[in-house]
């Protein structure tokens, strides 16, 4: 599966199809079934049953499995963008970025990790799911590049050109850490993951030194 280059922070718009409170409640009820049985294994009947709804009523909220993935992605994007909003208010921007990343890498989100592993596998087979996941990664990268631009003093366009791959690398590493199979905390492995990420982030702070 391939994704387009990260979009520029200047081109980040609002999250598409914001999830209603009722839809979010349904998604919360079906996440475990979706993760356990997988994208192809979980039938709409299984999911409707987990949501405590008739199949017909379930289809009113989610007419397809791709729509379910889109809803889950929208919820996660909203959560991630809230974290970036917190980062942007910090005195030490890169310190805040590193702290958020360390929290994600060192915390085992077993159910969430399984869910995203299943969605990632589906993205290899379903073009519509790949597009949804690609949009999510682009949004995360664009938020990260917005922080990088402030830290480095580069224009958004120059930052995108210079650090686009850096942002993609960080997203890839955090995603891999979240979806690994082991349930153990694995502190030594976590330390190596964070070491690799921090070396990449050092390039951004070094760029700030070049400007001064």
Distant-in-sequence, close-in-space partners of 152: CB < 8 Å, separation ≥ 6: 159, 162, 163, 204, 207, 208, 211
Given a cut of 70, whether residue 122 has pLDDT beyond it is yes
Closest listed residue to residue 132, CA positions, set 123, 124, 141: 123
Mean pLDDT of 30-41: 88
Residue-averaged pLDDT of the chain: 88
Closest listed residue to residue 154, CA positions, set 188, 204, 118: 204
Given a cut of 60, whether residue 25 has pLDDT beyond it is yes
pLDDT of residue 186: 85
Domain boundaries defined on the chain:
74-211
Rounded Cα–Cα distance for residues 209 and 206 (Å): 5
Could you read off the pLDDT of 172-194 as tens digits, one per residue? 999 988 888 766 778 899 999 99
pLDDT of residue 6: 46
pLDDT of residue 212: 59
pLDDT of residue 14: 44
Mean pLDDT of 190-212: 90
Single pTM value for the model:
0.84
pLDDT of residue 185: 73
CA distances 158 to 145, 148, 150, 207, Å, are: 10, 11, 12, 12
pLDDT of residue 27: 95
């Amino acid at each position: 599966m391939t994704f387009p280059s990260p979009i520029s922070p200047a081109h980040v718009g609002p999250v598409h199809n914001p999830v209603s409170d009722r839809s979010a409640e349904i998604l919360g009820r079906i996440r475990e079934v979706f993760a356990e049985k997988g994208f192809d294994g979980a039938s709409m009947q299984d999911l409707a049953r987990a949501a405590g709804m008739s199949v017909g009523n379930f289809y009113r909220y989610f007419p397809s499995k791709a729509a379910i993935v889109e809803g889950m992605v929208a919820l996660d994007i909203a959560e991630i963008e809230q974290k970036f909003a917190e980062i942007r208010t910090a005195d030490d921007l890169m310190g805040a970025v590193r702290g958020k990343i360390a929290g994600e890498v060192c915390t085992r989100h077993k159910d969430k990790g399984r869910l995203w592993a299943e969605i990632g596998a589906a993205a290899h087979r379903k073009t519509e799911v790949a597009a949804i996941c690609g949009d999510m990664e682009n949004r995360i990268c664009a938020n990260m590049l917005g922080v990088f631009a402030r830290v480095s003093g580069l224009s958004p366009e120059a930052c995108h050109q210079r650090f686009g791959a850096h942002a993609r690398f960080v997203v890839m590493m955090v995603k891999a850490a979240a979806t690994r199979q082991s349930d153990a905390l694995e502190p030594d492995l976590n330390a190596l993951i964070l070491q690799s990420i921090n070396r990449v982030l050092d390039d951004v702070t070094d760029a700030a030194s070049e400007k001064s």
